[in-house]
Amino acid sequence: MNLLKLTVIVGCSAALLGGCNNTDDARGPNVFDVTAIGLTLQGPSEIPEGWTTIRFVNQSGMIHLAMFDVPPDGIDAFQMKRELVKPYQDYLDALIEGNDEGMQTALGGFPSWLPDLYFFGGPGLLSSGYTSAATVNLKPGLYVLECYVKTNGIWHTYNPSPDQLGMVLEIRVIDSDTPTSPPPHGATLAIRNDSLELTQGTLKPGINQIKVEFIEQQAFENFLGNDVHVVKLNEDADLARASDWMDWRKPEGLQTPSPVTFLGGLNDMPEGSVGYFTVDLSPGDFAFITESPDPINQGLVLRFSID
């Protein structure tokens, strides 16, 4: 084996989560680590545009996710905190108290720019001690990565201290001429408003790179939309527990600790978008599941097994 070939092989295996391409002009996605430590997200503050893999390392003792928010021009993470996360926490407080009037007041405090904010993927629900990755194609601009899991009725996104952010990481994506390309994938998952479907490829033991096509997108009553997460099923009741946990409006919904183990996924993206995520699968039973008000009855669950 000559040195050049050896270098290529080493380069490819090092890029396990980021991809390895056979063509000369494509180098796969850029890869960055974001680590959950306590109630913080730690990672880069500035990255180049293009296909980008966020490798999500959960070193926190709790379950988390990391969703990209794309706020309108001029809105940064602290303004989001003051104008959106605070009223959202007020809404949750009123919901927990059963205070309908308080909920309406909180809704009235949501900012006028909210309809212009959209979600753009990022790593899905991931239990403590696990690592996963999600890949999307980022354009230049300001992105805010957030975890909105709850603990004791408080969003992880929300830090009551005025000069501190919660589980929020502001990332500026800057212009770059360096080409990137999407990662290779072994299976394709299509998301529609009433189904999750594997349309191509198979799932295998070990690390799977899954392409996700957001064929349809919708707005649920919980303000979120179609996405996908992988849950490990150890007994038949686990799927019902996972489905029940997926609605944050329930007192224990999306609240730590989760009743089941999640292995990653891909958060909401606009209709027509494509993203990727990796999940490390050992033999056993699993399901793809959407974080929606009632995924089982909405058809937004797909069970699978690994032999």
Task: List contacts with Cu ion (CB under 5 A).
Answer: 64, 147, 149, 156, 167
Q: Residue 263 has which token pair?
A: 């292995």
Using the minimum distance from each CB to Cu ion, give the nearer residue, 196 or 260: 260
CB of 258 to Cu ion, least distance (A): 11
CB of 291 to Cu ion, least distance (A): 13
For residue 267, count other CB atoms closer than 10 A to its CB: 30
Which residues partner with 51 through β-bridges? Answer: 137
CB of 38 to Cu ion, least distance (A): 10
Using the minimum distance from each CB to Cu ion, give the nearer residue, 147 or 289: 147
| Contacts for 302-305: CB closer than 8 Å, 24+ residues apart | 302/189, 302/195, 302/196, 302/197, 302/198, 303/233, 303/239, 304/198, 304/203
The H or E element containing residue 95 is helix 86-97
User: Whats the size of the chain, residue-wise?
Assistant: 307
Using the minimum distance from each CB to Cu ion, give the nearer residue, 133 or 189: 133
Q: Residue 62 has which token pair?
A: 């709790």
CB of 65 to Cu ion, least distance (A): 7
Of 69, 278, 268, 253, the C-alpha closest to 170 is 69
CB of 257 to Cu ion, least distance (A): 12
The H or E element containing residue 15 is none
